[in-house]
Amino acid sequence: MNSYDAIVIGAGHNGLVTANYLARAGKRVLVLERRAIPGGQAVTESFGEDWTVDSLHAGGMLRPDIVRDLGLNIPAPAPQAFTAHTDQGVLRIGPTLTDAASIESIRAFSAADATRWPEFVAFMNSCAQMLDAVYAVPMPRELPHVDLRREGLPMAKLALRLRRMGKRDMFRFIRALPMTSLELFEEWFESVALRAALASVAIHGHTLGPMSAGTGYTLMHNWLNRGGLAAPQHAAGTGSIVRALTEALLAARGEIRTGSAVQKVLIERSRAVGVRLASGEEIRAAVVFSGADPRHTLLALAGERELAPEFSWHARNIKMRGAVAKVHFRTDGRHGIAAGTHAVAASLKHMERAYDASKYHEIATAPYLEVSTRGETVSVHFQYAPYKLKSGDWASEGKRLEEIALATLAPLFPALAASVRGSRVLTPMDLEREYGLTEGDVNHGQLAMDQFFFMRPLPNWSDHRTPIAGLVLCGSGVHGGGGISGATGRNAAKQYLGGRVG
């Protein structure tokens, strides 16, 4: 029987990052991916007929230290503009956040806001840097107890790092985390348009509205992963990241097998010893990493029979509830939409109402949309399209998303409708079935306040361990995760190579 030093379940970007770190440390690594191609949500893939699309995540960046550590060759995405289409008018920021044109664009709405804007950008950059540091440190294992020898130093460094933000920003940072974006922006800005533009980034990808607590935090989180407001798009597609990771892995003698869904983690006496594939094949390894979401990993792959009752009860209650869908249009190229990121965010209240629909398991009929283009393709991020629908099911409702998206975009981009030649909708059900995301949750567990930091994925389990020895979480569902950054993949590998988990 085949045997490896390590198996990584899932070739999402985090799984690939973990595999690269392990392979570079001399481990024999095998990555198993259920889809026919690697990449997870960072994939650029063909929808057939020569139509290649960033099907899920528009753009992305790995943390610079990961790129360095792994010697990756990823061309840096060119800075792009972020355009918010609000009911007060169009606000355009970028390509650089504080360039003269951006400030002028804000000034058209409010002179006072234009004056405050550079300070806000500096504050957000500082918050993002702080989060970046927090996301590099697995949280203590048994809070409130901190193991001084193992966890004390990194935690002390984080405390010092926080202190170095300066007294004013430190308090502003801590206070902003649990705030609603509505309240946060009301304190900073008077322009309804600017508030709406920023709120759209705060809620992007999350099943939260601008009036939800904790959207102060999600704004910082997305700001960190985007490096500001606009999505960092790659000329060759988000898949550039995956390609670089795959090439580096193969060069380090790692292996990737696609079309290989893991059905079960093999467990002997509460220790993971390998995996069984859907085909029945069994592969052994000294350690098994999972880049799949924690609920799937724990309940389906490890199985509740191997878990303590309280633990599996908690695992069952990890909040997933995805509400994101994608609508891709293939056009004749004359869609008339400028490059960059376009947020269709009429107003903060408008977005909150769109979110309300998802609370009641309805599709938002006046949704928040984010539009980006790559050549002839127009990709629309659709929010909110809840995984669980009150009436109808996703087999039939997908078409409605496309209709709503087109109707919403028509007044803003008059040339779009006539340019459309084909389309492809990815509903939350597709996200689950095709991309392996439980309840269509793109973040492998909501980044809600009861699920962040030391509570991600579960309180006191945010150091990548699971109750099964030798089964280690490396995907977005752990502390540091959500978004494309590679942080959890990196942290998991370092925890293991440092002998702290596994």
Partner 1 sequence: MLQLKRTPFHERTSALSQAQNWRRWAGHIVLGSYDLGLDREYWGIRNAAALIDISPLLKYRITGPDAAALLHRVTPRDIHRMSVGQVGYTGWCDEEGKLVDDGTIARIGQEDFRMTSAEPSLRWLEMNAGGMDVRIVEESDALAALSLQGPNSRRVLNACCETSLDGLKYFRVADNTLAGCKVQISRTGYTGDLGYEIWLQPEDALTVWDALLAAGHNYGIVPCGILAMDMARVEAGLVMLDVDYTSSHAAWIDSQKSSPYELGLDWSVHLDKEGYFVGREALEREHRDGPAWKMVGVEVDWEGMEKLYAAVGLPPQIPAMAVRGSLPIYNGTTQVGYASTSTWSPVLKKYIALAHLQRPYYQTGTALSIEVTVEHHRRTAPARVVKLPFYEPEWKKK
Ligand X SMILES: Cc1cc2nc3c(=O)[nH]c(=O)nc-3n(C[C@H](O)[C@H](O)[C@H](O)COP(=O)(O)OP(=O)(O)OC[C@H]3O[C@@H](n4cnc5c(N)ncnc54)[C@H](O)[C@@H]3O)c2cc1C
Which residue ranges make up the site for partner 1 (CB under 8 A)? 267, 270, 299, 303-313, 316
User: Binding to ligand X by residue 85, rule CB under 6 A?
Assistant: no
Nearer to ligand X, 157 or 433 (CB): 433
Q: Which does 9 bind (CB under 5 to 8 A by kind): partner 1, ligand X, none?
A: ligand X
* Contact flag: residue 491 with ligand X (CB under 6 A): no
Tell the residue number behind the tokens 């809620």, with chain if given: 203
Host H or E run for residue 92: strand 89-93
Helices (H) and strands (E) in the chain, counts: 17, 16
> Which among ligand X, partner 1, none contacts residue 303 (Cβ within 5 to 8 A by kind)?
partner 1
310 binds, among ligand X, partner 1, none (CB under 5 to 8 A by kind): partner 1
Residue (296 or 494) nearer to ligand X, CB: 296
Whole-angstrom Cα distance, residue 385 to residue 357?
Answer: 9
Least spacing, CB of residue 171 vs ligand X, in Å: 25
CA distance 6 to 400: 44
Which has the closest alpha carbon to 233: 340, 120, 135, 152? 340
> How far apart are the C-alpha atoms of 340 and 53, rounded to whole Å?
16
Distance CA 59, CA 445 (A): 21
Q: CB under 6 A: which stretch of 127-135, 155-163, 170-178, 474-482 binds ligand X?
A: 474-482
Residues 149-208 that bind ligand X (CB under 6 A): 204-205
Based on CB atoms, which residue is closest to partner 1, 270 or 279? Answer: 270
Query: How far is the C-alpha of 142 from the C-alpha of 317, rounded, in Å?
Result: 20
Among 261, 366, 406, 497, binds ligand X (CB under 6 A): 261
Does 348 bind ligand X (CB under 6 A)? Our answer is no
Which residue's entry shows tokens 């107890």? Answer: 145
Question: Is residue 317 classed exposed, middle or buried when 0-12, 13-18 and 19+ CB atoms within 10 A define those classes?
Answer: exposed
Which of partner 1, ligand X, none has residue 11 at its interface (CB below 5 to 8 Å by kind)? Answer: ligand X
The binder of 331, among ligand X, partner 1, none, by C-beta within 5 to 8 A per type, is: none
Residue nearest to ligand X (CB): 12
Which does residue 484 touch among ligand X, partner 1, none (CB within 5 to 8 A, set by kind)? Answer: ligand X
Long-range CB pairs of 418-422, under 8 A, 24+ apart, other chains included: 418/334, 419/329, 419/331, 419/332, 419/333, 419/334, 419/335, 419/336, 420/329, 420/330, 420/331, 421/330, 421/331, 421/332, 422/49, 422/51, 422/329, 422/330
- On whether the CB atoms of residues 340 and 372 are closer than 8 A, the answer is yes
- Is 13 a residue that touches ligand X (CB under 6 A)? yes
Kindly provide the b/e burial profile for residues 16-50, where b requires at least 16 CB atoms within 10 angstroms of the residue's own CB: bbbbbbbbbeebbbbbbbbbebbbbbbbbbeeeee
In the bound state with partner 1, the residue whose beta carbon lies nearer, of 144 and 309, is 309
Q: Name which of 114 and 275 has its Cβ closer to ligand X.
A: 275
Query: Of 337, 315, 370, which is closest to residue 202 (Cα–Cα)?
Result: 370
Nearer residue to partner 1 within complex by CB, 50 or 268:
268
Considering only the stretches 113-121, 188-196, 290-298, 417-425, report the one whose residues sit in contact with ligand X under the rule CB under 6 A. 290-298
CB 148 to ligand X: min, Å: 31
Q: Using the rule CB under 6 A, is 386 a contact of ligand X?
A: no
483 binds, among partner 1, ligand X, none (CB under 5 to 8 A by kind): ligand X
Answer for which of 61, 345, 404, 484 binds ligand X (CB under 6 A) is 484
User: In the stretch 24-53, what mask flags binding to ligand X with x, by CB under 6 A?
Assistant: --------xxxx----xxx-----------
Residue 436 binds which entry of partner 1, ligand X, none, CB below 5-8 Å type-dependent:
ligand X
Does residue number 379 form part of the binding site for ligand X (CB under 6 A)? no
Q: Which of 413, 435, 452, 496 binds ligand X (CB under 6 A)?
A: 435
3-state helix vs strand vs coil in the chain, percent to 5? 40, 20, 40
Contact call for residue 321 and ligand X (CB under 6 A): no
Q: Which helix (H) or strand (E) holds 201?
A: helix 192-203
DSSP-H helix ranges across 317-383: 348-359
Q: Which does 482 bind (CB under 5 to 8 A by kind): partner 1, ligand X, none?
A: ligand X
Alpha carbons 197 and 84: distance in angstroms, whole number:
5
Strands 282-290 and 45-46: what pairing?
unpaired
Binding partner at 299 among ligand X, partner 1, none, C-beta below 5 to 8 Å by kind: partner 1
2 or 270: whose CB is closer to partner 1? 270
Q: Which lies closer to partner 1 via its Cβ, residue 316 or residue 359?
A: 316
Residue 41 interacts, among ligand X, partner 1, none and using kind-specific CB cut-offs from 5 to 8 Å, with: ligand X
The whole-angstrom separation of Cα 227 and Cα 38 is: 25
Footprint of ligand X (CB under 6 A): 9-15, 32-35, 40-42, 56-57, 204-205, 221-222, 225, 261-262, 291-292, 296, 301, 324, 326, 381, 435-437, 442-443, 475-476, 482-484
